[in-house]
Amino acid sequence: MRLDRRRLRCVRRCAKDFADRCERADAHTLDELTTVAGKCAGLQSLTLQIDNLSPGVLGLTEIVDCSGVITISSHCATIQATLFHEIGHLLLGHSHVDFDLALSVLNDVVAPPGFEHTFELLTPEYDPHEVATAEAEAEHFAVEVGYLLDAPPGVIREFAYGLG
């Protein structure tokens, strides 16, 4: 998906601000980058965990109150790229992550007879274009941060592959 210039400038500005804060904090490890992201987002804590996620899901971000968790799938071969992508969602203020989580919970669940209406109310409605735009923005954010923080060449190739 192609982003308009105005939105792309906002994404780049956000990535530059994050990269500058990482450099000022001398953050290089995944945990250090996650800590800086949490501070940028105004969270009391942001942790990174590796866990088993559904097939096809590489990462997700959950925010509860003033704490957050970024979960990267244990089968993810692109941990650094996926972390930057998830941080992008967080710092760009994307809310579709909640929809993805809710949909994954309701995936393959059949409504009991007589409860179809309740089931429909529980299923979140979202704009697929908005979700696609948010994914493209998070991926552009990840590429920018990867270049600004001098990510290893393998990580940059992961981004180029991911952007198609």
Per the model's pLDDT, the better-predicted residue between 36 and 104 turns out to be 36
Top pLDDT among 101 and 31 is at: 31
Please write the tens of the pLDDT for every residue from 31-86. 899 999 999 999 999 999 999 888 878 888 888 888 999 999 888 878 888 999 99
Mean pLDDT score across all residues of the chain: 80
In a domain, 104, yes or no: no
CA 119 to mean position of chain CA atoms: 27
Q: Is residue 66 part of a domain?
A: yes
H/E element, 98: helix 96-106
pTM of the model: 0.77
Length of the chain: 164
Q: How many domains does the chain have?
A: 1
Instruction: Specify if 127 maps to a domain.
Output: no
**pLDDT tier for residue 157 given thresholds of 50, 70 and 90:** low
Residues 6+ apart with CB under 8 A from 18: 36, 37, 40, 87, 91, 145
**pLDDT at residue 81, rounded to an integer:** 86
Question: Is residue 99 domain-resident?
Answer: no
Residue 126 lies in a domain: no
Show the domain range for 57.
5-94+136-163
Q: Taking Cα atoms as reference points, which of 70, 91, 76, 74 lies closest to residue 137?
A: 91
User: What pLDDT score was predicted for residue 29?
Assistant: 86
153: domain CATH number is 3.30.2010
Instruction: Look at residue 125 and tell me if it is in a domain.
Output: no
Give a yes or no: residue 19 inside a domain.
yes
Beta bridge partners of 71: 49, 60
Q: Does the residue 155 lie in any domain?
A: yes
